Amino acid sequence: MIDSRKSPAGTPAWPAWTASAPHVLALLAVWLLFTAWLRPLLLPDEGRYGEVARQMWLGDGLVPVLNGVPFFHKPPLTYWVDMLGMSMFGPTTFSVRLGPALGAWLMGAALWLTLRRRQGVRPAGVALAVLATTPFFFIGGQYANHDMLVAGTITAAVLSIYRAVADGAPVLRWLLLGWAFCGLAVLSKGLIGVVLPALVIGPWLLAQGRWRDMLRLLNPLGLLVFAAVALPWMLAMQQRYPDFFDYFIVEQHFRRFAGTTFNNVQPRYFYLWVLPLLTLPWAPWAAASLARLRAEGRTADWRWTGLLLWWALVVLVFFSMPASKLVGYIMPALAPVCALLALPLISREGTLHRWLRPTLLGAALFCLALVGTLAWVAPKSGQDVGRTLRGLVTPADVVVLVGESFNDVVFEARLTQVPLVASDWDDPDVKRRDSWRKELADTVRFDPAKVAAVLYPIGQLPALVCKGKRVWLVEGQTDQPRAAAVPGAVRVLRGKYAQLWRAEPQPCGVPAAATANPGRPPGG
């Protein structure tokens, strides 16, 4: 182990504060958070999950809700973290990015603490610097979905269990901590929270002939800790909604993993070219890392290096098997990949590579430029429409989302009423295609009455003004807006991506009772 208190000959002194966990981990938190407020919510993920967290915050805090109906696509841990942020800062874009920021911070903290103990302050600092300035990590740490929190909790679980078994028979306190992080990972995004740590640690121990230690990981107290963290919410949802288990476990895990009808179908080799792009400018150091390992030969710590290599391989292979692939799925591979990329940047004697500092500076500036570009371009953002609507709408008004979900508009408008969602809900493709419409229509199995009140037939838009209430309609940019067919509708704002219309109550010739039931939900 390198003595972190001494500066190798010919290299600048390593700042004393870099050996202090409070200082390093606070700096990591600042790096992740100081631009988290800068850009609007991106669609579809950030608008959808940010609005789920806001509606949970306004509701009972237990059932994930979107457009007033239960939304069980993901478990609640990210929402709970975001709700805590809303309690402190209000329903802001910063608040709904605290979940991914916490996941990124956990990943960085777990990696740095492990490397500091194993290799010293300098190698730990270099690896953390590589991780923190990798665009995939930096953007993922402030992108409001579930991927980074599950990646961070999985990383903490793997490294806690590694600490438990690194020097022999499992150390109970670290084993219990590892099982607790597995439970939190399950609450972050589902069963992968325990499956991936098992696939990483189990075969790694077996490769060393340590099958007894692998069996000892199933300590009853550890299993109890895992169950106490992961199961209460699921049991509560199953008790309240009898179809919960089939939908959340069977549909969203097993059928989705094996299915071919979901979005983003990609070839098997998809991640092999995506990961190097997402880890620029550090990815080119991969060849130097392999050369370093070959040069060290038997003197290398192959147990540790083998864990990192196997860990990265498990994540890439596991998520390459399903037909549906998203870049965020492989975030659990970031910690081992960045630890390996950092190898050639510091010698065994602690000398820093001459290209480390300029690459680090360029990587940090690139990360900041990416956030600035996203804030300026704001692709598909309805923030301008949402903020305009916030200043105009009253709780007694009716808000209608026409043809799209517009969750970011609802979030920015801070609506307290449930909006109607107008679409062609009788279209057979609603049930067949993986889309926001299918996600919303699937909720019919949990609360048919609420779903019937939310899903509005788009052909009946003109009848909305017959109910004696002011109507606000949000629609995408189109030359033939459906909102224009509503009697008395006036366009209030033509925003960058969406447009806002207002229609005052009209004395229609059709009795209001004829349109009191907006229609049956798909499958209802």
Q: How far is CA 3 from the centre of its chain?
A: 38
pLDDT of residue 263: 66
pLDDT of residue 255: 67
> Is residue 50 domain-resident?
yes
**Do 417 and 494 fall within a single domain?**
yes
Each residue's pLDDT tens digit, 145-157: 999 999 999 999 9
Each residue's pLDDT tens digit, 393-429: 999 999 999 988 899 999 999 999 999 999 998 888 7
pLDDT of residue 519: 43
**Do 491 and 346 fall within a single domain?**
no
> Is residue 208 domain-resident?
yes
pLDDT of residue 264: 72
The helix/strand count (H/E) of the chain reads as: 23, 8
Q: How far is CA 352 from the centre of its chain?
A: 34
Q: Answer with the one of 333, 354, 376 that is the final residue of a domain.
A: 376
**Do 460 and 488 fall within a single domain?**
yes
- The residues of the chain scoring below 70 in pLDDT are 1-14, 16, 254-263, 299-300, 509-524
**Do 82 and 103 fall within a single domain?**
yes
> Is residue 478 domain-resident?
yes
238 in Cβ contact with 232 (< 8 Å): no
Count of domains observed in the chain: 2
**Do 326 and 427 fall within a single domain?**
no
> Is residue 520 domain-resident?
no
**Do 453 and 414 fall within a single domain?**
yes
Q: Answer with the one of 326, 357, 376 that is the final residue of a domain.
A: 376
**Do 393 and 477 fall within a single domain?**
yes
**Do 277 and 413 fall within a single domain?**
no
**Do 171 and 52 fall within a single domain?**
yes
pLDDT of residue 150: 97
**Do 46 and 169 fall within a single domain?**
yes
**Do 204 and 93 fall within a single domain?**
yes
pLDDT of residue 300: 67
pLDDT of residue 514: 41
Q: Which residues, at least 6 apart from 321, have a Cβ–Cβ distance to it below 8 Å?
A: 257, 268
Which structural domain range is residue 318 located in?
28-257+270-376
DSSP 192-226: HHHHHHHHHHHHHHHHTT-HHHHHHTT-HHHHHHH
**Do 344 and 439 fall within a single domain?**
no
Q: Answer with the one of 343, 376, 409 that is the final residue of a domain.
A: 376
Is 276 exposed, middle or buried (CB count within 10 Å of its CB: 0-12, 13-18, 19+)? Answer: middle
Q: How far is CA 415 from the centre of its chain?
A: 24
> Is residue 194 domain-resident?
yes
How far apart CA 328 and CA 262 sit, in angstroms, is: 16
How far apart CA 93 and CA 72 sit, in angstroms, is: 22
